């Protein structure tokens, strides 16, 4: 198989590495890729958003399967463009991807299909939003409608914060058109988990569960980020709760998408809150999570290339049940100083090879670049350091041991990923 992976972060590095391990795969191409990916794939200088160019490339190079990492190309209709040309692709259609790209659409979709979620009101202006906030009381959650790089969700504790947030959305328009409409939502209490499920139009295959840590500082403090770390399994999502979520949340979503003519072949990622009343969906992504993918894929023992091809071509039934390693995986994100605010690029990175030699450790490049012979930082999230071991605690100890061997000026990380370790389980 010749496979094209679209994207260039830690998630795509993890995808490329798992594909590289498959005996079915002869060649991996990645657009645009990164220096870590370049060790296992040919990186092509095409941006993930250039969907026509990507389709031209896949056609010209006789690619057997294209796997899409980020949401941008999905929101632009990359799957539709490929399908039009009969090129196999792992990733949902533009209409199905709206489940991620518009919070207003997804909330209304949940209501139409009776999918358990937080109560919410869609608001297009300040007065309407003030009224909704009053109805829910504090804390309350405000969400920009459109894509905002994981930063468009605000948890509001007071009237003063609410007024400031509403000014940001509607007057200063910091999220641009993505914040023209907002969702004002009931604050749910419970524990979060990421539940990723493959769907090929007929069969659903749940992947190992995961949890990610979105806040920048230890103890879940500070602003939201793209993700500071993750572990698999999630712990809170035991086999019983996972099958409840599959039945009450994921399946009604797949059926709803189908009933509305929104074709979905790919991975649906449910951000769940496990409440006292059972699982509720907070949000969907129409793609693999980052950094969840970096801790989920290494636990899958089934052939990942075959698995993704089966999802793209309607043959997932061969993968029921999925074979999963009964071990735990922990990933710690090393970030640039200042992230998720402003940060500098170009700081030299040292100690990578030494860290990678530790048993069970795998390091994924998220935001790195080559500067001559040197590897330098080139993003907010720079590296994702993962370790796999028999227990969550052991995996966390190893991941931190590796993380501590890597150095760059201003390196920032959370110290509590997977703290309160839990036993691995088969889900």
Residues within the interface to ligand GLY (CB under 6 A): 150, 212, 227, 285, 289-290, 292
The answer to whether the CB of 169 falls within 8 A of the CB of 142 is yes
3-state secondary structure string across the chain: CEEEEEECCHHHHHHHHHHHCCCCCCEEEEEECCCCHHHCCEECCCCCCCHHHHHHHHHHCCCCEEEECCHHHHHCCHHHHHHHCCCCEECCCHHHHHHHHCHHHHHHHHHHHCCCECCEEEECCHHHHHHHHHHHCCCEEEEECCCCCCCCEEEECCHHHHHHHHHHHHHCCCCHHHHCCEEEEECCCCEEEEEEEEECCCCEEECCCEEECCEEECCCEEEECCCCEEEECCCCCCHHHHHHHHHHHHHHHHHHHHHCCCCCCEEEEEEEEEECCEEEEEEEECCCCCCHHHHHHHHECCCHHHHHHHHHHCCHHHHCCCCECCCEEEEEEEECCCCCCCCCCCCECECHHHHHCCCCEEEEECCEEEECCEEEECCCEEEEEEEEECCHHHHHHHHHHHHHHCECCCCECCCCCCCCCCCCCCC
Give the nearer residue to ligand AMP in terms of CB position, either 101 or 377: 101
Residue number, 88 or 289, with CB nearest to ligand AMP? 289
Task: Give 107 or 347: the residue with its C-beta nearer to ligand GLY.
Answer: 107
Residue pair 248/279 in contact by the 8 Å Cβ criterion: yes
Q: Which stretch binds ligand AMP (CB under 6 A): 44-52, 187-195, 357-365, 391-399?
A: 187-195
Residue 204 binds ligand AMP (CB under 6 A): no
**Residue 197 beta carbon to ligand GLY: minimum distance, rounded to whole angstroms:** 15
Q: Which of 192, 303, 306, 327 binds ligand AMP (CB under 6 A)?
A: 192
By the 8 A CB rule, do 272 and 237 touch?
Answer: yes
User: According to CB under 6 A, which one of 214, 299, 347, 398 is a site residue for ligand AMP?
Assistant: 214
Residue nearest to ligand GLY (CB): 289
Minimum CB distance to ligand GLY smaller for 33 or for 226: 226
Q: Shortest distance, CB of residue 42 to ligand GLY, whole angstroms? A: 26
Between 103 and 405, name the residue whose CB sits nearer to ligand AMP: 103
Please identify, among the stretches 2-10, 123-131, 180-188, 415-423, the one whose residues bind ligand AMP according to the rule CB under 6 A: 180-188
Judged by beta carbon, residue 108 or residue 404, the one nearer ligand AMP is: 108
Question: Is 187 an interacting residue with respect to ligand AMP (CB under 6 A)?
Answer: yes
In 3D space, the residue among 154, 192, 199, 180 whose CA is nearest the CA of residue 102 turns out to be 180
Residues in 114-143 that interact with ligand AMP by CB under 6 A = 118, 141, 143
- 285 makes contact, choosing from ligand GLY, ligand AMP, none, with CB < 5 to 8 Å by partner type, with ligand GLY
By a kind-dependent CB cut-off of 5 to 8 A, residue 116 interacts, out of ligand AMP, ligand GLY, none, with: none
Q: Which of 61, 95, 174, 188 binds ligand AMP (CB under 6 A)?
A: 188
Q: If binding is defined by CB under 6 A, does position 145 make contact with ligand AMP?
A: no
Binding mask 223-262 for ligand AMP (x = CB under 6 A): -x--------------------------------------
290 binds, among ligand GLY, ligand AMP, none (CB under 5 to 8 A by kind): ligand GLY
**C-beta separation of 36 from 13 below 8 A:** yes
192 contacts which partner out of ligand GLY, ligand AMP, none, CB within 5 to 8 A by kind?
Answer: ligand AMP
Applying CB under 6 A, among 95, 282, 358, 422 the residue interacting with ligand AMP is 282
- The interface with ligand AMP within residues 367-396 (CB under 6 A) comprises none
Between residues 200 and 292, which has the closer beta carbon with respect to ligand GLY? 292
Interaction partner, residue 283 (ligand AMP, ligand GLY, none; CB < 5-8 Å by kind): ligand AMP
User: Closest residue to ligand AMP, Cβ-based?
Assistant: 283
Contacts with ligand AMP, residue ranges (CB under 6 A): 118, 141, 143, 153, 185-188, 192, 214, 224, 271, 282-283
């Amino acid at each position: 198989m010749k496979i094209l992976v679209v994207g260039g972060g830690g998630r795509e590095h993890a995808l490329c590495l798992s594909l590289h391990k498959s005996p079915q795969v002869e060649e991996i191409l990645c657009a645009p890729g990164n220096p870590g990916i370049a060790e296992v794939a040919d990186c092509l200088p095409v941006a993930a958003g250039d969907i026509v160019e990507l389709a031209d490339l896949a056609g010209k190079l006789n690619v057997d399967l294209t796997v899409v990492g980020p949401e941008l190309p999905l929101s632009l209709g990359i799957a539709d463009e490929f399908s039009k040309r009969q090129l196999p692709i792992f990733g949902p259609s533009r209409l199905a991807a709206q489940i991620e790209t518009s919070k207003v659409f997804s909330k209304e979709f949940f209501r139409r299909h009776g999918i358990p979620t937080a109560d919410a009101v869609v608001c297009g202006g300040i007065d309407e939003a003030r009224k909704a906030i009053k109805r829910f009381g504090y804390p309350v959650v405000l969400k920009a409608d459109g894509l905002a790089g994981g930063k468009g969700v605000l948890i509001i504790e007071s009237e003063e914060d609410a007024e400031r947030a509403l000014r940001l959305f509607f007057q200063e328009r910091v999220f641009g058109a993505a914040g023209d409409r907002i969702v004002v939502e009931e604050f749910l209490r419970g524990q979060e988990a990421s539940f990723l499920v493959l769907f090929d139009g007929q069969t659903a295959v749940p992947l190992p569960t995961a949890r990610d840590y979105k806040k920048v500082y230890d103890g879940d403090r500070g602003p939201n980020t793209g993700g500071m770390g993750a572990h698999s399994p999630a712990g809170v999502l035991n086999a019983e709760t996972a099958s409840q979520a599959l039945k009450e949340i994921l399946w009604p979503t797949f059926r709803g998408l189908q009933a509305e003519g929104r074709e979905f072949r790919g991975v649906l990622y449910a951000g769940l809150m496990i409440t006292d009343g059972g699982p509720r969906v907070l949000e969907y992504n129409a793609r693999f999570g980052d950094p969840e993918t970096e801790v989920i894929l290494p636990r899958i023992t089934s052939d990942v290339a075959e698995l993704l091809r089966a999802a793209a071509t309607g043959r997932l039934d061969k993968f029921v049940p999925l074979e999963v390693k009964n071990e735990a995986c922990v990933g710690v994100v090393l970030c640039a100083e200042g992230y998720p605010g402003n940060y500098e690029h170009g700081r030299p990175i040292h100690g990578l090879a030494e860290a990678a030699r530790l048993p069970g450790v795998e390091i994924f490049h998220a935001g790195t670049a080559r500067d001559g012979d040197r590897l330098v930082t080139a993003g907010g999230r720079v590296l994702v350091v993962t370790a796999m071991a028999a227990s969550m605690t052991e995996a966390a100890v190893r991941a931190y041991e590796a993380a501590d061997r890597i150095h760059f000026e201003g390196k920032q990380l959370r110290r509590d990923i997977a703290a309160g370790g839990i036993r691995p389980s088969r889900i």
